[in-house]
Amino acid sequence: MNIVTTTLRRTFLSALLSAALPAALATSLALPAPAAAADDKVLNLYSARHYQTDEALYEEFTKQTGIKVNRIEAGDEALLERLRNEGANSPADVLLLVDAARLWKAQVEGLFQPVKSKVLDERIPAHLRGKDDGKGAEWYGFATRARVIVYNKASVNPDLVRNYEDLARPELKGKVCTRSGAHPYMLSLIGAMTEHLGEQKAEQWAAGVVANFARKPRGGDTDQVRAVATGECQVALSNSYYLVRLMKSDKPADREVMAKVGIIWPNQSGKGTHVNVSGAGVAKNAPHRDAAIKFLEYLASDSAQLHFANGSNEWPAAKGVKSTNEALQSLGEFKADDLSVASIGRAQVTAAKIIDRVGWR
């Protein structure tokens, strides 16, 4: 049975009509109204992930628990907008997002509810969880990725770019490419730099990076990697999973790109490399709260962790679980920054002010 394509006939038209939803959501799967009985064997998942490999993951959850997973997939912001408009009438049980900045945004808008779970507390490290005021964490990270430095092997001495701070070095003037500073991936990194350095020094660093731009920020991480390979710039930042995708690609052009670039795990002699998370929490008005908690606990299990993380070329977040993704493993071991992702989220406000002041747009 394909749980993703299950057609549900009961819809919540009133919520949809008031939502002004994007076109991508307008054609999405309709979920049952929250008036359904709490003991229904159903879980309504709002997911920003879009991997076909996740289907087997959800089917296994249904097999183990008898709980059917109904899923809506869309971008992070589209899902947040949908939840805002649905309000207390939302049928969402679990919200799954793919960046600490977005998880933090959902948290501060009150779109999650706290969860007390011995399983989750034992499995997921404390620095990979959301806010906990004693009532339980509001979300948990289930996979991690690193933000690495990529350089052109033919033209850059890797000793010049061992740390994030090095991206502001005068020697790199006219050589650095990045995506927009306003993108959540960049906001998370700048937020982490703010937590480590303080606002003033972080702003000085950001201004130095902007002064080194080879061009105005544009495109995604893969575009930055390709720009380094072609010589449009010499140094860039990328999430690790984009590099793994290029490594695993069957396209000769992608393999040629990877042959021309080197990868640096930043700050190995200090705080470690910045890591981000894919994470999930129980939605504020979840009509199937017990099923939602069971689902989060399932995602923390060994088998689900490997399936979940490998499907997106990330590392498992649960303690003691090692990746079996050979391409990811080929990148080697590194020291990860253990800064709390919740604090990275909290630093988003300051990070946004910094990018405005230094013109990182």
* Binding site as annotated, residues for Fe cation: 50, 241-242
Known binding positions: 50, 241-242
CA gap 38, 157 in Å, rounded: 60
Q: C-alpha angle 255/334/328, rounded to 5°?
A: 35
C-alpha distances out from residue 41 to 54, 101, 104, 114, 117, Å:
20, 32, 29, 22, 20
Collapsing DSSP to helix, strand or coil, 96 comes out as strand
Tell me the longest C-alpha to C-alpha distance in the chain.
64
Residue type, 225: V
CA gap 64, 42 in Å, rounded: 13
CA gap 89, 287 in Å, rounded: 9
If you ran DSSP here, which 8-state letter would residue 262 be given?
Answer: E
Helix (H) or strand (E) holding 42: strand 42-47
Q: How far apart are the first and last CA of the chain?
A: 46
C-alpha distances out from residue 253 to 194, 220, 230, Å:
37, 18, 11
